[in-house]
Structure 1
Amino acid sequence: MSSHSAAIETPASDTILRIRNLRTCFPSEEGEVPAVNDVSLTLKRGKVLAIVGESGCGKSVTSNSILRLIRPPGRIAGGEIMYYPSHGEPFDVLKLPEKSDELYDLRGGAISMIFQEPMTALSPVHSVGNQIIEAIRLHQQVSKREAREMTIEMLREVGIPGAERRVDQYPHELSGGMRQRVVIAMALVCRPEILIADEPTTALDVSIQAQILKLIKQLQEARNASVIFITHDLGVVAQVADEVAVMYPGRVIESGSVRDVLKRPKHPYTRGLLNSLPGVNQAPGERLSAIRGSVPALTAIPKGCPFHTRCEFALGGLCDVGDAPEMVLSDTGSDAACLRLDAIPAFAQPVKERTV
């Protein structure tokens, strides 16, 4: 997964989604600011791409931009989102008319999303079954009875016991883990080619998180779906992803295979995220390492490398001037946007991959 020139029109045959130079902006008192700034990503067919970063880095805005869910006064200011369906001609999602049947069919049909908080994704006044049935009938020509049978089968597939009874229950009657399984069922019931999972385990306790992660991975592999997985937790990435893009205020600053990024991180920000994980470069009883400072506001991103104010390797007169660094493409490992790649020592200890 490398950031290549937008002039390359024909992707590899295993590409299902190609984002090039995406820019999504929101107004502020200081003027319009880019929450997503020149982002380029490639999702491979049947693979999981994780987008990682702290809150405010632009992960969710990127995923919402893919489905054209940015509402005014926010706007997608530029770029290209090419979708290469298994059947049919490729097209740029950003060129679909706003209220067209094509865009309507894309959302929830070809591309579905699992949201991080199921109580905001589910209506409290309708049974979970009726909500999934409605999603089916929006995208497929089936009777209500057939849609109900499909719903019960999907609830079984996501591991909900007593699906015949649960189908008529309301969200408040289910646990948080069960509600998240319902949201996953709703997202997958129309068999989308691409699934976007936006922090799907954030609101759940650790044991339920592990179950949901395992479920998503199993369903992805069984259906050969392509997944964009949004998270702030690199430990989760080791469990579910094939490739990784690390974001820092609006930009992708490192990308590559899971093995390359987690074992041999190049960018100082990625290294800092890894060092903050328990058991990485940490002696027994030693306090966890932390990246100093915090993510800058979009209205106050520093000149030069946006990470230089928090970076232990930054050099005055180099890292704090000019425009943000471009991605340095690599044939041996991950790509990274850093001016000091040659001067940064190798990462001392690789992250241990955790299993679900």
Structure 2
Amino acid sequence: MVDRTLERRDDEGRTALAVLGSGGAALARHLSRRRRWDPLGHDRPCRTQRRCRRRPGGHGPVGGPHPAAGAADGRRGSATPLVPSSHHRQENRVTTTHFGARLAEAMGRHGPLCVGLDPHPRLLADWGLPDDADGLRVFSGRVLDAAAGRCAAVKPQSAFFERHGAEGVRVLEEVLAGCRERGLLSVLDVKRGDIGSTMLAYAEAYLADGAPLAADSVTLSPYLGYGALRPAVDLARATGRGVWVLGLTSNPEGAQVQQVGSPSVAARVVDQVAADNAGLAPFGDVGLVVGATLPATPSVLGLDLSAAGAPVLAPGVGAQGASGADVARVFAGLTDRVLVPVGRGILAAGPRPDDLVRAVTTWSGQLRRDLAPG
């Protein structure tokens, strides 16, 4: 359990972070090599000089219309910039309020919907966008605009950005900054899991204040041992962020690992999550990924989710076949803490902004009704 975080920022914007654990041991990580990141790219060269007019202090596609802008039907038109220059840019830090409380507040205000941001090549083509970083930027901007104020969170799938190399990762940085600007919690789906200093490096990449890819929360894989995730769990706690640990996932292959043993691997993971969430209300900042497509309820499969104190990320709704009614059945008695990602079921409504807004609003209302208590 982390007691407190001491942070010092010098005149060059570098940060030193010391996390003091309840056992008295100190975890100190100096992030001086990380320069302060400007999501508008003011200190970066314009990589599309031949296709866009250089703007004072900025990069064309981020600070203004996409080079292919202009079509009235919305297929290749402009989108609101991921990080609007007219906004007061929020620093890449979060408040001292723990993630579980912030998530509960967002779900209470906007409902259980989490919009999945999966810029699959087929979707880009359906939207009339190129399968490159410029296409990602327009696609993502429209989705964030449609989601803003209408759902609790957005879940970018990192792999669909990483496949475009450095430029795709840069767009992902802009997406995370755009979520902050629009008041959307981010669930960065990376499913990282490693040991020792490598796990710490992953934690610093996604959970440290000032990191270019810092999100409100990330998904983690516990299959090198739950204890190996400790650097990420502790750093998330120290910076007011959260993690989502794979429990019982929506893919059928998961049972080959997760449901083995007595108690099962998944049940032992849940028990360790419960220990990390002890004392946190309304629920903790270590969440569990439990699929909505399970053949039986978690309790029948040996998982005591009610005792875990964890929010639940429940994939499988929409294109994978589950419905809001299935979520209500699988998580009966726990629906107030279930965050439901819906990706293709919403994204297929694009590219027109009005159609995307309509899809987000429809899914949000349906899930609110399906998961309402009683």
Structure-2-length-normalised TM-score: 0.34
More helix by share: 2
* Greater relative contact order (CA < 8 Å, ≥ 6 in sequence): 1
TM-score by length of 1: 0.35
